[in-house]
Structure 1
Amino acid sequence: MTDLLVDTIVFEILTRVTTKDVGRSKSVCKEWYVLLSRQDFLRVHCSHSLISSNQQVHLIDDLTCSVHPIVFQSYDYGLSSIATFLFDHQNNDVSILSHLNGLLCVYLNHTYELLLWNLTTTAFKRLSTLDSHGFYRNNLDVVGLYIDADDDYKVLHIKPRCGVLGVYVYSREVDYWRNIPFITRQEYLSPHFDWPAGTFSGGTLYFTVCECWFGGRNVVICFNVNSEQFKEIGFPPVPSTGMVHGVLVNVKK
């Protein structure tokens, strides 16, 4: 099969099929598996999927996750379906921390475990390890989901524990946690500061950090996902009489 024919099939046809069909197509041959796993294919496939008939809302309620297609013409929802949980969980147990390209990073409230969960295929990956990696503490920890230059999905996990700081990166490709340094002001990791989940854009994770106890500083902490370096930039100049809980949104034209 010529390169031109392969490119036509992959980028002109397979970018327009469903996610499940893309998953099945990966088993055709090794060449297709590599092409369909590339970030440029995923971007084109997502752009073709961004039409009204493909928009859905996923609601996690008690022991089920319901999927509601959006009907934009009537500003209403279509007939719902139920997504299956393939992992053990309890009532009101699953909390979504971050998401990227349809992949969710969630944690289980009763075990504190972190999971990567694909709602389309219902596949999941448990991130907890015997040496205490992959466990999340609500109102203490910070999580961000991103893709690096090698198209590897990764999780950044910041863990303040009784004055001891741990910053860890999980790689889905190698299935391994490792520690990285946090080179900025250590005070930002105290309980006085509130961190939301990271927003990924242009090779950087952004966190809006607010000094919530004393109503003081607001900063944006940036994490370069390729150099794995942190830096601080100024908060946007918005009117404020105290605490400002900013939310960053990645907007594409």
Structure 2
Amino acid sequence: MPNLPTDVIISDILTRVPAKTAARSKGVCKEWHALLSMRDFEKAHCSRTLTPGNQRTLLIHDLSCHIQPMEFETADYGLQTIVPLPFQAEIRVVMILSHLDGLLCVCLQHTDKLVLWNPTTGAHTLLATPAGHGLYTDLTDTVGLYNGASNDYRVLHLSRRSDLLSAHVYSRQLGSWRKIAFGTNPEYQKCRFYWSPSTVCGDTLYFTVCECYVVGKNLVFEFDTNTEQVIEISFPPVPSSGIFQGILVDVRQSLHMVLWTGH
């Protein structure tokens, strides 16, 4: 064991231990801290732990919040673990907006404040600032959570006020917001268009945009998290002249759309 190579310890042993244990192992030495902080280690750790017997489901009810093991093939639940809220709020006002690697971006609806929250560890960060950043308005705003450069978890917040869209990115490492350009057709910034929460696939965030309540336009916006460029994508052909909507999902790093028509 004393002569066991570091790469073997990292890739074959620490990818199999619980996340808290792996995080504590960063304190062993600078080399371990660097290797365990890499995105490649996080992906390897997730691939080891996200087996059918290790899945966890976060369930939020009106009066309680808990995590349960779940067997997806049979839909059977295991014993639940109560999750206490680390922030001052009733569970009924907590709205989950986006998730990535077990990290949640939620809105506390009684204050409109955005929070990054890890239900497993209880760690959380309030994103609202005195300058007014990090405040979320339902139906007009949307968010996307992604992992940026240097393993920095970031939140993209798109807000529409008076039919004008503004975009800001929060950096978890820096603990601050910055404004970015988000070039879209001004027509889609009007509040009659509904913007979905983002779906992350690879290094890209995708948003579906649909014209509400009428047989209107539907499209997808692609946001490259590296270049911060925006591309408009057409919906697939729909064999109906009625109202239709689509939901995006990432399946093994491949983007799919579930699409339905009618009311």
* TM-score grouping bracket, smaller chain normalisation: over 0.9
**Contact 1:145 1:155 survives alignment (8 Å):** yes
Give the aligned partner of residue 206 of structure 1. 206
**Contact 1:64 1:85 survives alignment (8 Å):** no
Alignment pair present for 1:17 and 2:17: yes
- Decide whether aligned partners of structure 1 residues 91 and 14 sit closer, same or farther in structure 2, where only a CA change above 3 A counts: closer
Give the aligned partner of residue 218 of structure 2. 218
Letter in 1 for 2:176: Y
**Contact 2:140 2:159 survives alignment (8 Å):** yes
- Decide whether aligned partners of structure 1 residues 12 and 159 sit closer, same or farther in structure 2, where only a CA change above 3 A counts: same
Give the aligned partner of residue 166 of structure 1. 166
Aligned counterparts of 1:49 and 1:233: Cα–Cα separation in 2: 34
Give the aligned partner of residue 47 of structure 1. 47
SS of alignment partner, residue 58 of structure 1:
strand
SS of alignment partner, residue 177 of structure 1:
strand
Letter in 1 for 2:215: G
Letter in 1 for 2:152: D
- Residue 198 of structure 1: CA displacement? 0.5
Superposed CA deviations along residues 21-63 of structure 1, whole A, max 9, x for unmatched, are: 1122122223222211110001110101121221111111234
- Decide whether aligned partners of structure 1 residues 27 and 211 sit closer, same or farther in structure 2, where only a CA change above 3 A counts: same
- Residue 74 of structure 1: CA displacement? 4.6
- Decide whether aligned partners of structure 1 residues 238 and 66 sit closer, same or farther in structure 2, where only a CA change above 3 A counts: same
SS of alignment partner, residue 48 of structure 2:
helix
Aligned counterparts of 2:209 and 2:3: Cα–Cα separation in 1: 48
**Contact 1:216 1:242 survives alignment (8 Å):** no
- Decide whether aligned partners of structure 1 residues 4 and 209 sit closer, same or farther in structure 2, where only a CA change above 3 A counts: farther
**Contact 1:171 1:177 survives alignment (8 Å):** yes
Structure 2: which 5+ runs fail to align?
Answer: 254-263
Aligned counterparts of 2:2 and 2:149: Cα–Cα separation in 1: 28
**Contact 2:208 2:218 survives alignment (8 Å):** yes
Q: How many residues align?
A: 253
- Residue 2 of structure 1: CA displacement? 10
Aligned counterparts of 1:155 and 1:240: Cα–Cα separation in 2: 36
Give the aligned partner of residue 57 of structure 2. 57
Aligned counterparts of 1:173 and 1:79: Cα–Cα separation in 2: 35
Moved segments of 4+, more than 3 Å: 1-4, 71-75
SS of alignment partner, residue 191 of structure 2:
coil
Give the aligned partner of residue 100 of structure 1. 100
Give the aligned partner of residue 257 of structure 2. none
Aligned counterparts of 1:84 and 1:3: Cα–Cα separation in 2: 43
Aligned counterparts of 1:238 and 1:4: Cα–Cα separation in 2: 57
**Contact 2:141 2:157 survives alignment (8 Å):** yes
- Residue 161 of structure 1: CA displacement? 1.0
Percent identical across equivalent pairs? Answer: 49
- Residue 143 of structure 1: CA displacement? 0.4
Give the aligned partner of residue 30 of structure 1. 30
**Contact 1:146 1:155 survives alignment (8 Å):** yes
**Contact 1:159 1:166 survives alignment (8 Å):** yes
Aligned counterparts of 2:227 and 2:134: Cα–Cα separation in 1: 22
Aligned counterparts of 1:38 and 1:51: Cα–Cα separation in 2: 22
TM-score relative to the length of structure 1: 0.94
Larger displacement relative to structure 2 (54-63 or 36-45): 54-63
- Residue 240 of structure 1: CA displacement? 3.0
Aligned counterparts of 2:250 and 2:13: Cα–Cα separation in 1: 28
- Residue 91 of structure 1: CA displacement? 4.6
Give the aligned partner of residue 114 of structure 2. 114
Give the aligned partner of residue 145 of structure 2. 145
- Alignment RMSD: 1.9
1:65-84 map, 5 Å: 65-72=65-72, 74-84=74-84
SS of alignment partner, residue 119 of structure 1:
coil
Aligned counterparts of 2:91 and 2:14: Cα–Cα separation in 1: 39
Give the aligned partner of residue 181 of structure 1. 181
Aligned counterparts of 2:214 and 2:3: Cα–Cα separation in 1: 61
Give the aligned partner of residue 191 of structure 2. 191
